[in-house]
A and B are shown apart, each in its own frame.
Chain A
């Protein structure tokens, strides 16, 4: 398995180097093209325009290539795996309510900790993830 992994990583590195070499070549040509465009700008407007279009297209291609080669690296980084979860405790005697962060061992309907207001024992009545940010609403007619 690790052999396969090494081969895959070597192939990936080769692909990256090839991409960077292509970027370099296209970059030089595009720069040359833009230079020619500016050189011809006063004398031969039409030819200058063509050179500029080619140069600009070259840089656009570079941008796209860079975006493509960096995308996988960026996507490898995962969002944090942890979410915030809270525990709600209620005292059955005095109805005192308390919310705190979830801790390992909590479960719904567990007699957890002494009530701070009376001598009762607080009961865990709710465990839930903190409300997510509202996502963009779909069209109202749906």
Chain B
């Protein structure tokens, strides 16, 4: 066939001339407009993602309004107030002089929490404390989706306006990660709407399994602890107070527990959800050292500081999961992994402490849908 085409193209026919002209024209067009064509293609890809995110964030907003109305039974229309709160922002701390920034962050996080509590209380006056916590989480998801949409829209329109391929390229390159994050937040909507345990709840589930049936007390804001005898040791187990969606203040919980005992604690074990690398199975339980805790870094800093003050070794147990599992309703392999993590806790206690020792076990993460 190639031979035949070659034969025809070599003949001096009208068709040959037309084809030559067309090819030359296409070549010239491509020579000058290749980048433009590429930009248009990339803009199209961004537009597709943007449309998708818009649908998700609108859906999230509608679900938030519907759920708040259903649970909170407000007497007035809350749509406008929800819309205003979805646009709520907090200004990052100035870190030019980083000394004392952890205290400033603590103050800012507490202010932020107070604002959320007050807003949700006003929006949903009939909701219980647990329900209000879940609604706070639902609004946070809606805010995150709204922020993704606004930022992507900004770069899309900026790229379209300036036709600057480098602006467009930067956004186009990170589109898969953005889609992954949006998908993750999307799956969190149902969990926060209904109050279901999420991937991040694995830490609190492990500690709840230890604490259940033992007397409990509040050791810090939204943190409950219980003392459990185990093989001659005294386990002080704590987690965020459930079943509402809360992470509590585990740093304050640990500080208070250690100060109460003047640091007479043999080891500290923290259990938390951790991001898995591609190829690692969901629900893999790994052990290590250090403070297994994410968040702003404030909690981790303070936990490390108090552990260092009393020179207490910190053991960490990580339950591996993908980004798509963190805020999505808990999948079975992750729930089953909590049993494996519990076994790890017991083994670490036996291996690294003696009878008569006190061991602190902290279940880190969002305790939504998990009692104690």
User: Which residues of A are in contact with B by a Cβ distance under 8 Å?
Assistant: 4, 12, 45-47, 49-50, 53, 68, 71-72, 75-76, 78, 81-83, 85, 102, 104-110, 126-132, 138, 142
Contacts and interface: CB of A to CB of B under 8 A. Distances in A.
A77 to B, nearest CB: 8
B55 A78 contact: yes
Contact of B15 (A45, A50, A109, A129): A50
Contacts of B19: 50
B369 interface: yes
B250 interface: no
Overall SS of chain A's interface: mixed
A72 B371 contact: no
A72 B8 contact: no
A126 B51 contact: no
A46 B52 contact: no
A107 B47 contact: no
B195 interface: yes
Contact of A85 (B7, B208, B243, B329): B329
B330 interface: yes
A108 B15 contact: no
A82 B186 CA distance: 10
B242 interface: yes
B48 interface: yes
A131 B329 CA distance: 12
21 contacts: A12-B47, A49-B1, A49-B4, A50-B5, A50-B8, A68-B44, A72-B47, A72-B48, A78-B52, A78-B55, A83-B190, A83-B329, A85-B329, A102-B194, A108-B197, A108-B371, A127-B197, A128-B197, A128-B331, A129-B332, A130-B332
B173 to A, nearest CB: 19
Contacts of B195: 104-107
B189 interface: yes
Contacts of A128: 197, 329-332, 334-335
A4 B149 CA distance: 14
B369 A129 contact: no
Interface string B4-24: 110110000101000100000
Contact of A76 (B8, B51, B212, B334): B51
B234 to A, nearest CB: 22
B196 interface: yes
Contacts of B205: 108
Nearest to A107: B243
B331 A129 contact: yes
Contacts of B52: 75-76, 78
